[in-house]
Each structure stands twice: as C-alpha cells, then as structure tokens.
Structure 1
Amino acid sequence: MMMSYKIPESVLVVIHTAELDVLLIERADKPGFWQSVTGSKDAPEEALPKTAAREVQEETGIDVRGTSPGLLVLKDWQLSNIYEIYPVWRHRYAPGVTQNTEHVFSLQVPRDIPVRLAPREHLHHVWLPYRDAADRCFSSSNAEAILQLPNFLMT
C-alpha cells in the first residue's frame, strides 16, 4: 500500500466576529494546542479558496460554500508564511520535506453561528478577544495573523 503524503501547502483561516472575537479550536492529537482552522490542499491543483472553505466546513461545520451570497465571505489576505514543519508532524510529509507554505484567510461570522467540531481533530472551541486568542495560539504564524486582523479588515 502506497502512503499518501500531505502536500506542504496549507491554509490558515482566522474565523472572527465583527467585534474581533476569534474562534480557536483545541487539537485532539495535542491537547492544550489551540489554533485557528488550518489544513493542507487535498491535491496540488486544488484552489486555495476551495481548500479554505473545505477546511472550515470539516473542522467547524460552518459551510462557507452553502450560504447565501455575501453572507459569509472568505477574505484572502494575499499573505503567505513559510515555516518549519514541527518534527512531530513531519512523518505526514514526503521524506525530506521540512517546510510548509501557509496562506492566510479570514472569515467574519455572526457570534451565534453554530460550531460543530470534528471530534477526531478537535476537542473544544472558544471565542476570545483577538489579543487573548493570539496569546493562546501555539503557532507563532497563527498568533501573528490574529494580531494583524484589525489591519486586514480595514483594507
């Protein structure tokens, strides 16, 4: 059986309210590790907005694609981060792959939107003011994106 490796190109989606409360989710495989929605492309040709919408749906149950036009809109920040893949997760990638390119998106939602976590991926979710959310993230690129949220909403 051939192993299918993860593609080292992913999305980070900062889900937030108009008041800049940010949704964080706790990883099931690393309790205490809080993050925004993240995930890799399923195929090299998968468009990044499609990856972002799919990951939001899979991890939170929020359906970006199935909503009325203009209700929920993914915003592509046109910002990419290249980072070292944590050694604990490198086995998921092809031998020799040590870096990932992460593309940043945001998604503004109503505060009362239902959140349904994928139980095998995440344990809990929490809404926090954006600065508190940044402090709780284990990933520095995730924390930095959250801290930049007010600037990207004004553009």
Structure 2
Amino acid sequence: MATTRASSAAHANRPQVWAILVMVLGLLLIGRGAWDMAQAITFATGGVTTEGRVTGVTSVNQGRGRVAYYARVRYAVEGKSMAATTEDRVERDQYKIGDVIRLSYLSSDPARVRTADTAGKIGFFAWLILGLGLAIGGGGLYWLLRMRRRPDVAVGTR
C-alpha cells in the first residue's frame, strides 16, 4: 500500500510541475521580449546616425535550411574608419557591394551598428514574444493558483 500512496502522491503533483514549467516558459519569453525592447531603446537613446558603405553580406546558417543575412559595412566614427557587421538581419539581395546606406551605431560602442531604419524601433517580434510570455506565464500562474485552492490536489491525496 505504501507504494500506491507514493505513486499517487507523485501523480497528484504532476499538474503542479506542469504549471510551474508553463510559468517558466512564460518568464523566458518575457525576458526575451524585454531584451529585444531594451536593445531597441539603447539604440534609440544612444545611437548616432551616419552613412556607411556596404562591403558585403554575411550569411549565417541557422539550421533546418534557414539562412540569415547580415550586411558588412564600413563607416566613419569621429574621422576613424570602422568596419562591422550589422546586428539586424537584411534580405539576401537587399544591398549590393558599394551601396551607401544610413546606419546607426552606439556612441558608447561604435562597433555595434544597425541599419538606421530599424535601429531604435521596437519590432513586431519583440511585442509578440512579450505578449506570448505574458499570456503563457499568466496562464501558468492562474493554473497553479487554481490547483492550490483545491485541497485534494495541493495535499497530494487525489
């Protein structure tokens, strides 16, 4: 009989574990969305806009046949030539070598550069991830609180 009680108690705690895992997933998504927003705000408040020249496009294999492209650019910071790769993705054929584009770099770290049209803007992806995180995390919290109100689940006697 002791074996039955132990296994039923472990079985009764399973929903709580799932609720906690759902909350953790929600928190991770909230963290990712907040990170993306913080990066955009950093460029909005500390970004310096300049013109640069495209020197190439770097492709990064992301697995499962997906490839991301980033522009390699050269630009001037206080008269000194800088070369960097943009932090934001670009389309494969969006720029050609030699194209002049507007860039935004951080005055505190000039090697961090984005295209000026996306720097400082909070994109749809950040809002989506943040919203999903709030919904999923809130759902997990609601699930956990609801289980705690039911004595048969909270005590593990189910």
Q: Which TM-score applies when normalising by structure 2?
A: 0.21
Q: Choose 1 or 2 for highest CA Rg.
A: 2
Instruction: Tell me which protein shows more helix as a share of its residues.
Output: 2
TM-score between the two structures when normalised by the length of structure 1 = 0.21
